[in-house]
A and B are shown apart, each in its own frame.
Chain A
């Protein structure tokens, strides 16, 4: 029930209806998918979601405050006094995670890497959502041969290994060589192309399902423009599954970025710090027993992907009631009184199970269906006719 209907039904001077829980407007922050899901989640499922969120936020903070946290720059090879860093030195007080074969500080590069990773994901996800959703809407709504061709192409791309596609794109965009922003941008766009089909398929399937429904028909009859139907009626109702795909895609995007870097299609070390590139350089180190150049950037990738995947998996499970962790009897959300239309039923914090037990132990003395003080009021049509009938007799 929304506010507007509540005020229509209400009685002047009577505030009780307005005080019902159901009538309170939902605060805006509870409408955000993740916050809503946090409230639904229980037990270890909540643990997974919270852990994932904490890790993700941690990396976002690292990316934002990299210049403050990292002791050195990502391409810095000399300290303040001008002396070169030692190469391949083990972790020490100066370089807490050691240095690489090229003389970079591993700790600093790992921190700066968070920034590269997050910028690349944001570019990739924003671009692929934009393109994928637009194509999906247009293709699904208009149909025809354009739709057929797009579907076949999307299916072909979708079945193709994403890393190979990203390599092809990287060759096309940058010829495999890249500088600072062009490198990040090239990686981002390469990843984008890989994920467009996923958004396209999801949105298109939803649009095809919705576009024949009654409310779209009526919108057409009323004379709504195609643009309005597409944005208001179709888009808003077909984005249900987007948060899940979005999070799972961002974790895949990091892996693809790292894979590109590992194959030498990443970003030059002087342009930005990229974990995949660092791991590529550490392959030879590992055989020689030098573990710190590989372990730290690698763990960073594992952690950030783990965090984002945990969030995505939890959102996925919460969206599917069959997979949602089952609440035990004591954890029923809300109470049945909150849904009552009878203002005499006081909304309570107690859950329905306790209420039920309570009522069997202490049965209420009298059962009143409506407030006797307001006879023949306008609560409901039924009430009024019943009261009138009584009056006549």
Chain B
């Protein structure tokens, strides 16, 4: 196990500056190098998460502290192995992680991996729908703002973008809920579907957990409509939060390419403004946009924790905040580590995509 640790840190030092070392490599080599970089990143995050969580003591005292007698508590701590030296526990945990074992939750005694697979789908569904909202709003308005730079439309869109960003996602969620679910009463206030739809899902042989896909599997349009109606407000709340960042990003990058020399030259050759914006200025502006998009997906997962809590959307975020309240730190640790892995993988994918778009990124 310690071999693995040293190997990981060795990779980190060898690949932290790959730009200088492998200038002549091809695309495949770039992908491989970049893929190997995931290992030290995840390793560092797991290490940080583990030691931070253990800094205040063992999870059993945190969860059961007031409820058990000191003797009983000691017995449970010993049974779970939390009285061993921290470094032994750490290596043990890393070993479990490699086998896909993240421990067992303390409050409801389930394997953490089960929790992750059961509730992960809901979070991905929400994140996916929000990303669509964010992309439509962000790219559309961002390009519009760049086109009408320094005019009223631009100023209006920028203020909108800042407002999106300035509004905490849970407050936006509450306001949307208040307007559409309570006052207008046209959309459901919380949850992922009605009880009747939940009953329908029980009949499925192989439910995916993605309610939209499950509804399509059932082929029942009322269930699909019900699922979509439930998804509108959470996706809008989380999507608009991210859209604010996208608008700003798209605007800035399109402006900087739009005013650059080669666009100016194309304009003087008589290329139409529409083509200038769509072809000449757009593609180079995409690279930084995609890079930041990767970071935004990470932020979105944090936003999902708050959104799911607001809308009682039973995903990882909702469970995370429940486990936080119950002080079940084994479960919290598992969910946080899963998010860390997702973030690292997403960043890898983003880097590969930007290398596909821009050959200059490859090394």
Q: Do A and B bind each other?
A: yes
Least CB distance, A274 to chain B, in whole angstroms: 12
Interface of A is mostly: helix
Task: Please indicate the chain A residues that have their CB under 8 angstroms from the CB of B49 in the complex.
Answer: 168
B12, B168, B301: the one within 8 Å of A259 (CB): B168
Is chain B's binding surface mostly helix, strand, loop or mixed?
helix
Contacts of B310 in A (CB 8 A): 283
> Across chains A and B, which 7 residue pairs bring their CB atoms closest together, nearest first?
A161-B302, A298-B171, A305-B166, A163-B302, A156-B44, A306-B166, A172-B55
CB distance from B236 to the nearest CB of A (A): 16
Interface string of A275-290 (1 = CB under 8 A from B): 0100100110011110
The reply on B88 being an interface residue by CB < 8 A is no
Q: Which of B53, B177, B189, B305 interacts with A171 by CB under 8 Å?
A: B53
B324: Cβ under 8 A from any A Cβ: yes
Partner-contacting stretch, out of B74-82, B212-220, B277-285, B338-346: B338-346
Interface residues on A, range: 35 or more
A264 within 8 A of B: yes
Return 24 A-B CB contacts under 8 Å, by A number: A44-B150, A149-B13, A152-B41, A153-B44, A159-B41, A159-B295, A159-B347, A161-B302, A162-B302, A164-B302, A168-B49, A168-B53, A171-B53, A172-B52, A172-B55, A172-B56, A262-B170, A279-B170, A283-B174, A294-B178, A298-B174, A301-B168, A302-B163, A302-B168
- Which of A167, A291, A302, A322 is close to B324, meaning CB atoms less than 8 Å apart? A167
Q: Which of B150, B167, B190, B295 contacts A325 (CB 8 A)?
A: B150
A159 touching B174 by the CB < 8 A rule?
Answer: no
A-side contacts of B299, CB under 8 Å:
161-162
Cα(A310)–Cα(B165), bound, Å: 11
Expressed in whole angstroms, the minimum distance between the Cβ of A52 and any Cβ of chain B is 9
B306 touches A155 (CB 8 A): no
Which A residues touch B174, using CB under 8 A? Answer: 279, 282-283, 286, 294, 298
Chain B contacts for A276, CB-based, 8 A: 168
Determine if B339 and A161 form an interchain contact, defined as CB atoms under 8 angstroms apart.
yes
Kindly state the separation between the CA atoms of A263 and B167 in the bound complex, as whole angstroms.
16
Shortest distance between the CB of B284 and any CB in chain A (Å): 14
A175 lies within 8 A of chain B by Cβ: yes
**Is A255 in the interface zone, CB < 8 Å from B?**
yes
Residues of chain A in range 277-332 having any CB-CB distance to chain B below 8 Å: 279, 282-283, 286-289, 291, 294-295, 298, 301-303, 305-306, 309-310, 313, 322-323, 325-326
Shortest Cβ distance from B321 into chain A, in angstroms? 5
Bound CA span A370–B338, Å: 76
> Judging by beta carbons under 8 Å apart, are B306 and A263 in contact?
yes
**New A-B contacts (4) at CB < 8 Å, excluding given A164-B305, A262-B168, A305-B165:** A157-B45, A168-B53, A172-B55, A263-B321
Select from chain B the residue with minimum beta-carbon distance to A301. B168
Q: Are A43 and B150 in contact (CB under 8 A)?
A: yes
Q: Which residues of A contact B62 (CB under 8 A)?
A: 175
Q: Are B40 and A152 in touch, CB under 8 angstroms?
A: yes
Expressed in whole angstroms, the minimum distance between the Cβ of A140 and any Cβ of chain B is 14
Inter-chain contact B52/A152, CB cutoff 8 Å:
no
Assembly CA distance A307 to B324 (angstroms): 32
Least Cβ–Cβ distance between B204 and chain A, in angstroms? 30
Q: How far is the CB of B36 from chain A (nearest CB, A)?
A: 13
Q: A287 to B175, Cβ gap below 8 A?
A: no
- CB neighbours (8 Å) of A310 from chain B are 162
- In the assembled complex, the CB of A106 is this many whole angstroms from the nearest CB of chain B, namely 14
- Is B309 on the interface with A (CB-CB < 8 A)? yes
Whether A152 and B12, one on each chain, are in contact in the complex, defined by CB atoms closer than 8 angstroms, is: yes
For A301, the chain B residues whose CB sits under 8 A away are 166-168, 171
